[in-house]
Amino acid sequence: MDPSDPTTFNHQYCNVNGIRMHYIDENQSSKKALLLIHGWPDLWCGWREQIPFLVKLGYRVVVPTLRGFGESDAPADHVQYGEQTLSNDFAGLLDYLQIPTVVVVGHDWGGVCAWRFTQFYPNRVVAVASFCTPYSRPEQQYLPLEELVKLVPNFTYQLYLTTPSAAAEIDENTEAFFKRMFRPISEQVGGGGIIDEQTKTLIAGRPPVPKSDKLPQKVLDYYVEKYQKRGAAGCLNYYKRRKVNFEECKDLEPIIHKPAMMVTADGDVALPPSMAKGMEKSVPNVEVFNVKNAGHWVLWEQPEECNSYLKQWLSKIYPAQKL
């Protein structure tokens, strides 16, 4: 496995829960399995710096490509992207692989998935961790996105992502989009916002930026190829499903008692560390860490620190035999 070359990982496919799903599956002989879940606009390879590290520790590492992304199927209807449906995807994948239980780890939307999978399938989850995305209890009253952004202004960009214009922009400017999006905090340009304050766009009308050295060329090429083939409309359904999630999740047990880890990044504009404050009231067994000098892409901005936290936490709650 070479983190700078996505083709060097073990790519697999299966049919689960009505879709064809792509996933990475490494070190299949290990009895200790980890399920890593990516977010937007990511793919499985957002975990490229963690997968080889965790395999060396002795774990089986399974990394699905979420429905709507990359080589996994992308249903058109946003109703098919609710957290219960996604949790059923993960359970179906584990059934297919005959893996009874896992430690689940998420980032971005994958963090939401990790928390909710733990609630929908507590018997399948040994422990749960999230990078950047704090746990939030299921809402007991539906709040449209338009109202949510008034309470959480740093989510305002999500309003644009629900429009057809956002998908068209990404499809027409895929490489420029990823060059601008996948940058460490030290290389942010134009204020670092996802949406330009003047043009109100993702890419259109914004000056091109060079590829970051932190983003290997073959990794950039992989993202561009998969997005150009799939299109962005499917993955943007994640921003249209608040009503679906409310209906599917409102009756879940709000307290997560599993061992848990929350890792924040001090420069994350979308999900600042302040959002994780008080999480221990809902996740009493959580350990919280913060990575400095990192933004939202903390997994590959500061991989050594992220991996260190994973190793430290896993060794206590889910130790694996070293290879």
Burial class (CB in 10 A: 0-12, 13-18, 19+), 178: buried
Grouping H, G, I as helix, E, B as strand and the rest as coil, residue 180 is: helix
Of 42, 78, 296, 309, which one is the catalytic site residue?
296
Residue 316 tokens read as 């206590």
How many helices (H) and strands (E) the chain has is answered by 11, 8
Question: Residues near 229 by Cβ (< 8 Å), separated by ≥ 6?
Answer: none
Q: Are 295 and 269 in contact (CB under 8 A)?
A: yes
Count of residues in the chain: 323
In three-state secondary structure terms, 24 is strand
Tokens of 274: 């302040």
257 catalytic, yes or no?
no
Q: Which of 42, 73, 89, 108 is catalytic?
A: 108
Cα gap 113→119, rounded to integer Å: 10
Nearest to 236 by CA among 119, 111, 68: 68
Note if 73 is an active site residue: no
Which residue in 23, 239, 268, 309 is the catalytic one? 239
Known active-site residue 108: yes
Point out the residues that are catalytic.
Answer: 108, 239, 296
